[in-house]
Amino acid sequence: MATSLGSEVIIDGEHLRLEDVEAVAVRNSAVRVADQAWSAVEAARRTVERQFERGAVIYGVTTGFGRLANVAVPASQAGALQLNLVRSHAAGTGAPLPIPQVRAAQVLRVSTLAAGHSGVRREVVQLVLDLLNRGVTPLVPSQGSVGASGDLAPLAHMTLTLLGEGDAYAGEQRMPAREALRRVGLEPIQLHPKEGLSLVNGTEVMTGIAALAQLRAERLIAAADVIGAMSLEGFLGTDKVFDDRINRLRPHPGQAHVAENLRKLLAGSEIMQSHRDCGRVQDPYSFRCIPVVHGAVRDAAAYTRRVFEIEAISVTDNPLVFPEDDAFLTGGNFHGQPVALACDVLKTALAELASISERRLYLLLNAQDRGLPLFLAPQSGVQSGLMLTQYTAAALVSENKGLAWPNSVDSIPTSAGQEDHVSMGTTAARNLERVLDNVEGALCCELLGALAAADCRRPLRAGVGTRAAYAAGRAVVPPLVEDRPPSPDIEALRELLRSGDLVQAVEAAVGRV
């Protein structure tokens, strides 16, 4: 099975965790194919060669592609057919995808090929492995995929590198692909029958982007609970709404999880104890409904993780090879609809996480009735404090409203009507990444306000979890004693969230959140 052994990920074509994808894509863990998977790859290749020698009519091997499926291609032109497919389909445009996203797609492509239903030679899979292990990454434009038949254009750009064509990165340096291969001692390959089609047909680019986004989203979701608890303390809100008796009457798993998190984070808080008899009955919804809203986001993320995990071990090539039956079957596994819908669900859920966060920040900056200075400025009037951080959060939330529009509801027919319904899954995945950036920024703005509000509550001690979060935040951002540009502070906190250090500091104090 695909497992991490130290810094190595082993792929067997049947098992692959999202964490394994991230390990290779982001942390450059080594990757290799299990022996039993190599046997499956070789069996599928023998089936392709046997059928090809018999003169069988096979889509994309002895015929053209898409609307050209009924055009026969002579055996003497089989190699040219595959080469022309890759070159003609490398029609992407726009800024290059980040290197980790391309590496994620490469890992997933290896997993698909290693399942033994694509029919490529062992040498092809090995070259993709070598690119990953030696730090050569194809340059892949970010735009051009409609998500069916899979990610044709971006995968074609990935395949160009195997041929020594197009551009690639050696490490992080961009250069012609042939030069990048030469630098690490690799040679381009020539494509044999079916190999070009097997390399460009699939959902690996959208799934690679989505896999990395899912893990990043899960870390942000945990951080949102922590930051929300800090804001509640600073606002002198009530923690009674986190009572298990309330939340078990609406038994959504995420709601129960978040309510428990808030109880753990605020345990032992002198700040919460200080206003038990203040007479206020209810807080605004952005505080009172944290378990409901954050919990719904958690439940959505649980669903999308299942989708992305299934897609990571799926074979999305076409046609598919079944060596045990000596057969080729044509289907629609390349269609990106499962990934597209999941990306749309996740980005919509995450947009709500930013929306409720911005509302909490707004309340912190306008809580004079709860003993906080306006805009949390040490000297309101001569100082503006964190006034503009709420503007920034509002701008990010507004931007998310457009990005959260579901891309999967759109479809534009392609290939002269043969490919008449497409998923737009890669667009959904790319917009999910943009939403994540905005959510992260909004949460950092709230965290900046929560830290300042905590300073106003001293010398009262915060809860066990919120105290650990405060220490982590103040380790990178000093207290606000006079006006200074908030932008560097927001970016420092962004790194704290992105690295996972904030949540790790809290979990060391209260356990997993």
Catalytic status, residue 169: no
Q: Are 82 and 194 in contact (CB under 8 A)?
A: yes
Residue 4, beta-bridge partner list: 9
Give the phi and the psi of residue 254 in degrees, each rounded to 5.
Answer: -65, -40
Q: Percent helix, strand and coil across the chain, each rounded to 5?
A: 60, 10, 30
Other Cβ atoms less than 10 A from the Cβ of 368: the count is: 11
Active-site residue (options: 59, 285, 303, 362): 59
Question: Among positive and negative, which fits the CA dihedral 235, 240, 241, 242?
Answer: positive
- What letter represents residue 338's amino acid? P
Q: How many residues does the chain have?
A: 513
The DSSP string of 119-162 is ---HHHHHHHHHHHHHTEEE--EEE---SSSSSHHHHHHHHHHH
How many CB atoms neighbour CB 501 within 10 A? 15
DSSP 8-state secondary structure symbol assigned to residue 14: S
Burial annotation 55-67 (CB, 10 A radius, 16+ → b, else e): eeebbbbbebbee
Q: How far is CA 167 from CA 137, 138, 235, 481, in A?
A: 9, 7, 53, 50
Distance CA 426, CA 150 (A): 9
Residue with structure tokens 């995929």?
145
Residues annotated as catalytic (active site), given as ranges = 59
